[in-house]
Each structure stands twice: as C-alpha cells, then as structure tokens.
Chains A and B, each alone.
Chain A
C-alpha cells in the first residue's frame, strides 16, 4: 500500500471524485487536521441516499417476510451477496420509487394491523360470550330489570362453600360456568344482599351489554370472523404479490447503499476555493497510472509515501487461487494488522490435515469431493459460496488421504463383503495406524501434532518479528521459548517412555538455559530490575509475557480432540454397518434393509461429523495456533467505488 494525497483544482474536483468512484482503487481516509479552516468537505452528490436506503430496507424487510429473495439453506451458510450488473442496478434505481413503495408498505402494514386488531376483538368477545350461550334471554335485558338486580361474580372454593352454607333466602344463585355464578336478589334488599356478597370476596364480572341473545351474537361473531379471515387471506395474497418485486427492490437498495457510502466518502474529501485535497491508501501497483491520470486529466499532482508504523493502513489480502478459499477461516477471526503477516498460506495445510484427521474416511471423503464439486458449479456466480465449497473440496481430498491411512472406508464396510476380499486387502495395504486397536499411539500422534503446530506458531512469531526488524523480539519471544519448551517436552516424554540418560541431560540443559534466558528477557519492558525478574519468573508459568508453560501444555493437549473426533466418525460408521448386517438376516427384505440402513446411517454420520470436523479444527487454528503470533485488528481495504452490503456489482450491461 502507498499513502497518497492527491491535489486537484477545486473546479475539477467533482469530475475527479466521479472518476475515483468509477476506478474504485483508492481507500479514502480523512485529510489530516493540518489543513486550514478554509478547507471544507465536498458537497454530497445525492443528499437523499440515506433516506432512500432507510426506506428501501424497510420495504425489503417486508418483502422478505413474505418470502422474497429468500436464501436457501446452503446460501445462508455463508454471507453471500446478490450478484448484478451495474446497468441492472441503475435501471432498478430508476424504476423503483422508494417513497411510493415505503408508503405502500406502510398502508399494507396498517391494513394488516387493523384486521388483526378486529380479529382479536372478535375472538375476545366470542370467548366471553361462550359462557352465556345457554341464556335464552337477551343479556342486555338482565341489566334493566325493575325489581330484581342480577350480578355476575367469580367465587373461589371457600367462597362457594360459604355461599351454599349461609346464603340468605332473598338471594338466589346459579353456577354459570366453572367458578362463575349468577346472583340475583330483589332491589329492595340490595344493601343487605350486596353486603353478604361482598363478604364472600368475589371478583365482579360485568354482564355483556348485548341486545340480542348470546347465541345470536355468537353466530354473528362467527360470521364476522369468517369475513375477517377472508379479508386477511386476500391481503396476504396482495402482500405476496407485492413481495414478488423484492428482487428488484434489492437491486435498487444495493444501488442506493452505494450512493450512501459515496456520500459518506466524499465527506472525507476537503476543498478550498482553489484546491481539492483527497487523501487515502492505494495499492502500490496502481500508483503510477493513478498519478499519470491525475496530472493528465485533472491538472493535479499526487504525493505518495510508504505507510509508517502507527498509521491505520487498510489491508488488502491478495491470495493465489489455491489459498483463496482458506481465507474464509482468517475472516472468521478478523483482518490481520498491515504490519503483521497474512497467515492464510501457513494454516492451509494444517487446517486441511486437521479436518482430514477428524473426518478420516475414504468413502466420506469421496462423497465430500463430489458434493462440493456439484455445489461449486451450482453457485459459481457467488464468489463467497464458490470458495466455501472449494475449501470443502480440499477437505474431501484430505479426508480420503487420512481415511486411507487409518483404514476407514465407510467405517469397516469392507469387512462385510467376505473375509480377505479385494477391497479389504487394498484398504489394509494402505493402513498405517488403526486408532481403535491402538488408541494410545493415536493419542500420542495427536499430541505430537499439537507440539509441532505450537512450534510452527512460534516460528511464525519469530518470522513476523524478524520482518519488522525486531530481532530481539524474535530471539527473546521466540527462540528462548524453543529451548525452554523443548526441555519440557523431552522431560515429560520420560513419563511415558524410558529415555537415555544423555537425552534427559540435554532436556534438563535446554530447560534451564531457556528458563534463565526467559527470566532475564521477558520483563525487559519493566522499569526496575526487581520488576524485570519477577515478570520473567511469572512468564515461565504463563500468566504474563508472550507465552508460558501452562499455555503450551494446555494448547498441546487441546489437540487430543483430533483423536476423539476421528474415533467418533469411525465408530458411528461401524455401528451403522453392524445394524445393517443384522437387518441383512431378515427374510425377503434383508438385502433392501441392508442397503437402506447403510445409506441412511452413513448419510446421517456424514452430515453430523462434518460439522464437528470443521468447527474443531477451525478452533485449533483460531485459538491455539493464532494465539502464538497473529495480530488481528486491521482495517479492511474498501476502495471508494461501488459498495453495498447486499449486492455485488459486476461491470457491464451486455448479456
């Protein structure tokens, strides 16, 4: 990257920024505060872009709730954007009127809400009147009796007993439903009756003021409910028809999102009455042509320099074809710092090996290769999905290799085709280690892989520091840990195997030398001698400093999950083989059941195991490996050009 400042005449600024937007190579940053106050931000080309985006996002959310632009399960795995030509985007933006659509959505939503409110009201009244269905007279009439007062009360169990036991003769009552009671008494005895009822502690209920009988009202409510359901269904169809235009709305939204970002970007461009100033970062490869165009087309000048440590330099990661799909893993963690290193090529083979060990089955590997190839072809237009499946294609190859090495072919399926069959002999000829019969060796292999990968991480740290010119950092935070940890590894090996005395001596020497070096260097940033020594001693354990013995042991043991996952895939596959073999003994349908159980069982195991086989190796990379050297926190390179969260634009308008 090059840090550039372009100076152009103020009157050429609009055409210059338009040209910048079209070229999409410069990552704009704010011009430094050293410019005088007479410099002000450039005018926005489209002041309404933010408003249009806000409105179209609401319209889009409405369309999506009715099924428009719905992503398939596969598409939802990776955040992918709709791909469209720039001419399609411009055409959609011309056709779509955000204000009109937003109003239309508002109206549809309001109608929907009104219908739902009416429906809720009908259902509530229906529920209330259901208890009065047996009352033959209009309910309203009960409220206006001249001599009798009728009330409705809810009584608890104890109050009901009290009512039965001590009800005065002037009060009559009848259970209406559940704990709901009619109570009636002469109006002339109202005060005494009310006092008695009050003593029961009832919850008063109002008698519905319905002019007809409850049954008649319920019938009319049912009719109203039916009518509302029809209206809701019609409105639903109307909304679905509206949502059909969701794809075009999405394109218009993409266009306006880009215009919004363009307006935001132009706020970083300052100009006085005579000069326009544009500041940003440019990939070095574009510098020459950019400078030439600024001079020739706009009569300006370009100042450039190399970024310095401390600059917030955007990061553009350019990877060759093979490594590009693995970028997905690094993106899960965050963009690397500009002055750090891109770890993608260095984690590619370890990740693929870890995946292969966890999934480790030749048949599953072949299945994964076939499935990935099909999906890569299907989603060839969507870059992120294509790379996602390309990564799984690599994983499939790795799965085949490790499956062959541990002798897993759909579990132990080859054993069911007769003793000593060709497939069995072929599988056994490739097998190096059977983790089921020798789990301790497999476990030690997993631990060895852990140690090796931790050493690899330390090597990356040494390289990173060396590149930066931090030779002391490379030696103290990397080289000394090599000595110390190698000493630990050798001495710990003595717990599992008998070591020659010389080797033990070498281990002890390395441990002591490394420890002394670390104690003397890990606290080098501390001000006092005591502080340096204490920091150094504590860093050996691992709370402070760049690494630690506990961190090393913990990270290494974490790799034992490779064995656990590999065993799980194999054992579950073998279990389905046993089930299929049992079913094969059934009369008439035995062969069919054998095939069905095999297909169902192994498909199930394939999809269940693939999740763990991806997640746990990813974790080993992101946590245990990256923890040694990786510095995230970089800014993604986002050139001033077309930019939308929803749409990926491709140039051109031809078919």
Chain B
C-alpha cells in the first residue's frame, strides 16, 4: 500500500505536476460551489421572508434569488478547462511540476474569488429583493444591482482562462 502511494506521489507530484493540477481543479470547483450555496442561502432566506407577505412576487424574485448560483458554474468551467488543458482527462501527459503548481494557484485563486463574490452577490441580491418588495415595478433595475458584483467573478474566470492558455501551451498530451 505504502509502495503504491509512494509511486503515485512520485508520478503525480515529483516527476510530473498532474497532482497539483487536480488539486487546483478540485479547489476551484469546491470553493465556487460552496460560495454559490452560501450566496443563494442569503438571497433565498430574504426572498422567503418577502414571499411570506407577498407570495405574488415569486416570479419577480426567482431570478434574483438564483443569481449567486453563477459562480458555481464558472468554477465548474474553470475546473473543466484545467482538466482538459492539463491533460488530466486524456491520460498520459507531460506536465512539469512547476506548471502543475502554477495551475493549482490559478485554480485556488479563481475558486477564492468565486467563493467570496458569490457571498457578496447573495448579500446584494438580498438588498435587491428588498427593493422589489417595496417597489415591484423596479424588478428590472433591481436585477442589475447584484449583476454588478458578478462582473468580478467573470474577470476571475477570464483571467483563469488566459493564464491556463499560457501555462498549458507547451503541454504535450500523448
């Protein structure tokens, strides 16, 4: 068992950097999804309170409630790209450890941004839900407020795509 473990560690973390890339992908998707779950908890709790008084607003609140869920998808896209471009999904790969570590940093960094921005977006969504509760006709404008926070989750994804493109340019997938 110990031998197998040693062999795997050597293969994925010493001779190659695929293990680091795996950690990066896992960190990106898990942090982003945790953030989305927390963000939606915040917005949905607020919407629940509003709908207890005004159930007719369900339609107008549904999309605002779901906005913080986006970061989960962005982090999933980031993880898929890490998996694809590092050769994780294709088997044998020559990924130098230093590139693997860099990819891990990209994954963790993106995951952190997605995590925190989802929570902040949940808080902004809650504020937008309050706005709709008081002025139902302002739902169009209200939806734009939390969307502003999401811009930075997108910037992080975009940065991740560019960095991954740069880092995996020389990767040879056999």
A623 in contact with B143 (CB, 8 Å): yes
Interfacial residues of chain A within 250-271, with CB under 8 A of chain B in the complex:
none
A564 in contact with B59 (CB, 8 Å): no
Interface: B139 (CB within 8 A): yes
B74 in contact with A560 (CB, 8 Å): yes
Interface: A585 (CB within 8 A): no
User: 7 pairs across A/B with beta carbons < 8 Å?
Assistant: A79-B56, A554-B155, A557-B74, A561-B70, A561-B73, A632-B140, A633-B140
The 6 closest A-B CB pairs, nearest first, are: A632-B140, A79-B56, A564-B73, A561-B73, A554-B154, A615-B66
Interface: B63 (CB within 8 A): yes
A365 to B27, CA, bound (A): 34
Interface string of A536-580 (1 = CB under 8 A from B): 000000000000001001100110110111000000000000000
Interface: B119 (CB within 8 A): no
B143 in contact with A333 (CB, 8 Å): yes
Interface: A420 (CB within 8 A): no
A563 to B147, CA, bound (A): 20
- Listed in ascending order, the chain B residues whose CB lies under 8 Å from chain A are 55-56, 58-60, 62-63, 66-67, 69-70, 73-74, 76-77, 80-81, 84, 137-141, 143-144, 147, 150-151, 154-155, 157-158, 162, 165
Given A554-B154, A560-B73, A564-B73, residue A332 in contact with residue B139 (CB < 8 A): yes
Which residues of B are found within 8 Å of A496, using beta-carbon distances?
A: 165
A560 in contact with B63 (CB, 8 Å): no
**Of A439, A565, A623, which one neighbours B84 at CB under 8 angstroms?**
A439
Which residues of B are found within 8 Å of A632, using beta-carbon distances?
A: 137, 140-141
Interface: A192 (CB within 8 A): no
**Of B58, B67, B76, which one neighbours A77 at CB under 8 angstroms?**
B58
- Listed in ascending order, the chain A residues whose CB lies under 8 Å from chain B are 76-79, 328, 331-334, 439-440, 443, 495-496, 550, 553-554, 557-558, 560-561, 563-565, 612, 615-616, 618-619, 622-623, 626-627, 630, 632-633
Which residues of B are found within 8 Å of A622, using beta-carbon distances?
A: 63, 140, 143
Given A332-B139, A334-B140, residue A557 in contact with residue B157 (CB < 8 A): yes
Query: Can you name the residue of chain B whose Cβ is closest to the Cβ of A331?
Result: B59
Given A440-B84, A554-B151, A557-B157, residue A495 in contact with residue B59 (CB < 8 A): no
Given A495-B165, A615-B63, residue A333 in contact with residue B70 (CB < 8 A): no
A554 to B153, CA, bound (A): 9
A443 in contact with B59 (CB, 8 Å): no
Other A-B pairs beyond A443-B80, A554-B154, 10, CB < 8 Å: A77-B58, A331-B59, A334-B139, A565-B73, A615-B62, A615-B63, A616-B69, A618-B62, A618-B63, A619-B67
Given A557-B158, A633-B140, residue A616 in contact with residue B55 (CB < 8 A): no
Interchain pairs with CB closer than 8 A, number: 85
B139 in contact with A564 (CB, 8 Å): no
Interface of B is mostly: helix
CB distance from A449 to the nearest CB of B (A): 14
B56 in contact with A623 (CB, 8 Å): no
A388 to B137, CA, bound (A): 21
A340 to B155, CA, bound (A): 32
CB distance from A443 to the nearest CB of B (A): 7
Query: Can you name the residue of chain B whose Cβ is closest to the Cβ of A71?
Result: B55
A443 to B161, CA, bound (A): 12
B66 in contact with A619 (CB, 8 Å): yes
A618 to B66, CA, bound (A): 10
A550 to B154, CA, bound (A): 9
Which residues of B are found within 8 Å of A612, using beta-carbon distances?
A: 69
Which residues of A are found within 8 Å of B67, using beta-carbon distances?
A: 619
A79 in contact with B59 (CB, 8 Å): yes
B66 in contact with A328 (CB, 8 Å): no
Which residues of B are found within 8 Å of A334, using beta-carbon distances?
A: 137-140
Which residues of A are found within 8 Å of B73, using beta-carbon distances?
A: 560-561, 564-565, 616
A622 to B147, CA, bound (A): 11
A336 to B162, CA, bound (A): 39
**Of B137, B140, B154, B162, which one neighbours A558 at CB under 8 angstroms?**
B154
CB distance from B75 to the nearest CB of A (A): 10
B55 in contact with A332 (CB, 8 Å): no
A428 to B139, CA, bound (A): 44
A328 to B150, CA, bound (A): 25
Query: Can you name the residue of chain B whose Cβ is closest to the Cβ of A632?
Result: B140
A229 to B66, CA, bound (A): 45
Given A439-B84, A619-B63, residue A79 in contact with residue B77 (CB < 8 A): no
Which residues of B are found within 8 Å of A619, using beta-carbon distances?
A: 63, 66-67, 70
Interface centre among B60, B73, B138 (most CB of A within 10 A): B73
A24 to B153, CA, bound (A): 50
Which residues of A are found within 8 Å of B77, using beta-carbon distances?
A: 443, 560, 563-564
CB distance from B129 to the nearest CB of A (A): 14
Query: Can you name the residue of chain A whose Cβ is closest to the Cβ of B154?
Result: A554
Query: Can you name the residue of chain A whose Cβ is closest to the Cβ of B78?
Result: A560
Which residues of B are found within 8 Å of A79, using beta-carbon distances?
A: 55-56, 58-59
A616 to B59, CA, bound (A): 13
Which residues of B are found within 8 Å of A563, using beta-carbon distances?
A: 77
A618 to B143, CA, bound (A): 12
A440 to B173, CA, bound (A): 15
A328 in contact with B59 (CB, 8 Å): yes
A564 to B143, CA, bound (A): 22
Which residues of A are found within 8 Å of B162, using beta-carbon distances?
A: 495
A553 in contact with B139 (CB, 8 Å): no
Which residues of A are found within 8 Å of B55, using beta-carbon distances?
A: 76, 79
B151 in contact with A550 (CB, 8 Å): yes
Interface centre among A440, A623, A632, A633 (most CB of B within 10 A): A623
A630 to B139, CA, bound (A): 13
Which residues of A are found within 8 Å of B154, using beta-carbon distances?
A: 553-554, 557-558
Query: Can you name the residue of chain B whose Cβ is closest to the Cβ of A436?
Result: B89
CB distance from B161 to the nearest CB of A (A): 8
CB distance from B26 to the nearest CB of A (A): 16
Query: Can you name the residue of chain B whose Cβ is closest to the Cβ of A551?
Result: B151
Which residues of B are found within 8 Å of A333, using beta-carbon distances?
A: 139-140, 143
CB distance from B85 to the nearest CB of A (A): 9
A332 to B136, CA, bound (A): 10
Query: Can you name the residue of chain A whose Cβ is closest to the Cβ of B84?
Result: A440
Which residues of A are found within 8 Å of B56, using beta-carbon distances?
A: 79
B76 in contact with A564 (CB, 8 Å): yes
A439 to B81, CA, bound (A): 9
**Of B66, B81, B147, B150, which one neighbours A616 at CB under 8 angstroms?**
B66
CB distance from B79 to the nearest CB of A (A): 10
Query: Can you name the residue of chain A whose Cβ is closest to the Cβ of B85?
Result: A440
A332 to B74, CA, bound (A): 25
A332 to B60, CA, bound (A): 5
Which residues of A are found within 8 Å of B140, using beta-carbon distances?
A: 333-334, 622, 626, 630, 632-633
Which residues of B are found within 8 Å of A443, using beta-carbon distances?
A: 77, 80-81
CB distance from A649 to the nearest CB of B (A): 19
Which residues of B are found within 8 Å of A550, using beta-carbon distances?
A: 151, 155
A612 to B155, CA, bound (A): 23
A332 in contact with B62 (CB, 8 Å): yes
Query: Can you name the residue of chain A whose Cβ is closest to the Cβ of B72?
Result: A564
Which residues of A are found within 8 Å of B62, using beta-carbon distances?
A: 332, 615, 618
A616 to B69, CA, bound (A): 9
**Of B63, B69, B158, which one neighbours A332 at CB under 8 angstroms?**
B63
Which residues of A are found within 8 Å of B150, using beta-carbon distances?
A: 554, 558
Which residues of B are found within 8 Å of A76, using beta-carbon distances?
A: 55, 58
A148 to B116, CA, bound (A): 69
A438 to B154, CA, bound (A): 23
Which residues of A are found within 8 Å of B165, using beta-carbon distances?
A: 495-496
